[in-house]
Amino acid sequence: MKKIESTKNESVKLWKKLQLRKYREKEGLFIVEGYHLVEEALKYEATVEQLIITDESQIQNLNYDGDIFIVTNEIMEEISQTETPQGIAAVCRKKSESLEISYGESYLLVDKIQDPGNLGTIIRTAEASGINAIFLNKGTVDPFNDKVIRSSQGAIFHMPIITRNLSDVIETCNEVGIKVYGTSLQDASPYKGEDPSDSFALILGNEGEGIENSLLNQTHKNLYIPIKGKSESLNVAVAAGILIYYLKNV
Amino acid sequence: MKKIESTKNESVKLWKKLQLRKYREKEGLFIVEGYHLVEEALKYEATVEQLIITDESQIQNLNYDGDIFIVTNEIMEEISQTETPQGIAAVCRKKSESLEISYGESYLLVDKIQDPGNLGTIIRTAEASGINAIFLNKGTVDPFNDKVIRSSQGAIFHMPIITRNLSDVIETCNEVGIKVYGTSLQDASPYKGEDPSDSFALILGNEGEGIENSLLNQTHKNLYIPIKGKSESLNVAVAAGILIYYLKNV
């Protein structure tokens, strides 16, 4: 256990940098805050490299034998991205995700979703429903953004999340016989016309723009959710929930 | 058209007060911000009492013949609750909602949901799916909170939202033969065991605590959404979407 009292300490500087996507990508690290998320991180195959606490009582029920840093409240506030820091945070290493797409599994493909709350909620729903992996393209909000992690309620630790070119992913799905569904308000079929299936891929698009046309052209079929009222569309995380639970027949 | 240049002006003081639930309830007024929401408000049976703009060009495409105030950017920032005000806002009068519960309609009952984004998203989904009205109890976040209105994407203008004792609402539903479904992780049945129906009521509960036990005891049946992964539950707005779209068979 190591005590840190200066905000100028090198570790503190690194932790602060991890608030930015650029440094999370460079270092392969990210920070989670709060007891519940730290607990979830520890359950998940030792991705936790450092624990940061303000008080030893924080860890008395945690099973962890790596590096522990005791910091001042001032330092915790400095590195925290929440308004009221809980006094515990963990520095986690990103897993290098490699995954072979194979028939029998179900995937979510995320095309440039911007809102961290939406992405986190989608990860939570996907994990809960038994989706096997999520593929994101580069224009999507960083899944290791603190708001995404919080909205995922820790599901980010149980779900392979892979950044990859979505056109390639669709091509591979087509090759191995996995039906790929786009979602679109135009030129699409009502989702309930499709039969649920053991293996499928579903693409979700940007909040304002939807899915890129070139991707929609590669799909087996594009689906829409009927709107009976005056609203123009559904929130993308809600739409994801309706489609996933229907297509997986959960 | 009236120009206001002082932040001490009485109208400005009132508009600022409307940031608080207490004054929204006392005055029966609320404010919406941004072009899209103002447009939605104007489409909806003249609930708009005042338009507030920073520039006349803001209203050239709007059909409105009520009071218009031109204010400084400073005043707009003062009354706005967004980080980058769009230069247009509307003061709207709440409709006095009275509604007779009748067989053939579908309702949503909201028990103490706290997160404005969740409530707004639920209102948007409910409106889109053709739900006829939403009943809230007193412990629920104010539906005229600016974040609720924004997340609803204007659906709040097309959907009767009524604050009422939920136990009374369930009782009336039971009397007229509308099946009332609770949602619960314990002592509940999987939702797909139920047949979709033309007329039902669905209760949604608080993010952490769920639905109050006394309400769960009054229902026809309590439902749960199966979880295949390690997540403990779904986000309440996602759960609402899955259940509503299943039960209404949209």
CB atoms within 10 A of CB B186: 8
Q: Is B108 in contact with B202 (CB distance < 8 Å)?
A: yes
Q: What is the ipTM score, two decimals?
A: 0.93
What tokens were used for A1?
């256990």
Chain A nearest-CA distance from B153, in A, is: 8
Residues of A in contact with B161 (CB under 8 A): none
Do residue B234 and residue A128 have CB atoms under 8 angstroms apart? yes
Do residue A234 and residue B128 have CB atoms under 8 angstroms apart? yes
Instruction: Report the pLDDT value the prediction gives residue B141, as an integer from 0 to 100.
Output: 98
Interface residue A250 vs chain B (CB under 8 A): yes
DSSP-derived 3-state class of residue B107: strand
Interface residue A132 vs chain B (CB under 8 A): no
pLDDT digits (tens, 9 = 90+) for A218-236: 999 999 999 999 999 999 9
Residues of A in contact with B36 (CB under 8 A): none
What tokens were used for B147?
């974040």
Instruction: Report the pLDDT value the prediction gives residue B45, as an integer from 0 to 100.
Output: 66
- B7 Cα distance to chain centroid: 30
Q: Are strands A221-224 and A189-190 parallel, antiparallel or unpaired?
A: parallel
What tokens were used for A121?
């909620």
Tokens 């980080």 correspond to what residue? B83
Q: Are strands B221-224 and B179-183 parallel, antiparallel or unpaired?
A: parallel
Q: How many CA atoms lie within 13 A of B27 on its CB side?
A: 20
Residues of B in contact with A192 (CB under 8 A): 249
Instruction: Report the pLDDT value the prediction gives residue A47, as an integer from 0 to 100.
Output: 86
For residue A182, which of A214, A223, A210 has the smallest C-alpha distance?
A223
DSSP-derived 3-state class of residue B84: coil
Q: How far apart are CA B51 and CA A194, in angstroms?
A: 47
pLDDT digits (tens, 9 = 90+) for A20-52: 999 999 999 999 999 999 999 998 866 899 999
Non-local (6+) Cβ contacts of B78 within 8 A are: B7, B12, B16
Do residue A125 and residue B234 have CB atoms under 8 angstroms apart? yes
Q: How many residues does chain A have?
A: 250
Residues of A in contact with B124 (CB under 8 A): 231, 234-235, 238
Interface residue B106 vs chain A (CB under 8 A): no
Interface residue A63 vs chain B (CB under 8 A): no
Q: How far apart are CA B53 and CA B77, in angstroms?
A: 11
- Stated pTM of the model: 0.94
Q: How far apart are CA B15 and CA B80, in angstroms?
A: 9
At B173, the amino acid letter reads: C
pLDDT digits (tens, 9 = 90+) for A172-214: 999 999 999 999 998 999 999 999 998 999 999 999 999 999 9
Q: If contacts are CB pairs under 8 Å, which of residues 25-44 in chain A contact chain B?
A: none
Q: How far apart are CA A134 and CA A240, in angstroms?
A: 12
Do residue A129 and residue B228 have CB atoms under 8 angstroms apart? yes
Instruction: Report the pLDDT value the prediction gives residue A150, as an integer from 0 to 100.
Output: 95
CB atoms within 10 A of CB B217: 11
Chain B nearest-CA distance from A209, in A, is: 16
Q: Tell me which H or E stretch contains A67.
A: strand A67-71
Mutation target to probe the B interface, by most B beta carbons within 10 A, among A198, A231, A236 is: A231
Per-residue pLDDT of chain B (250 residues; tens, 9 = 90+): 999 999 999 999 999 999 999 999 999 999 999 999 999 999 886 689 999 999 988 888 888 989 999 999 999 999 999 888 889 999 999 987 789 999 999 999 999 999 999 999 999 999 999 999 999 999 999 999 999 999 999 999 989 999 999 999 999 999 999 999 999 998 999 999 999 998 999 999 999 999 999 999 999 999 999 999 999 999 999 999 999 999 999 9
DSSP-derived 3-state class of residue A159: coil
Domains and CATH numbers, chain A: 2-93 (3.30.1330.30), 106-248 (3.40.1280.10)
Alpha-carbon distances, residue A138 vs A84, A135, A167, A202, B84 (angstroms): 31, 10, 12, 18, 27
Do residue A229 and residue B151 have CB atoms under 8 angstroms apart? no
Do residue A235 and residue B121 have CB atoms under 8 angstroms apart? yes
Rounded (to 5) percent helix, strand, coil in chain B? 35, 20, 40
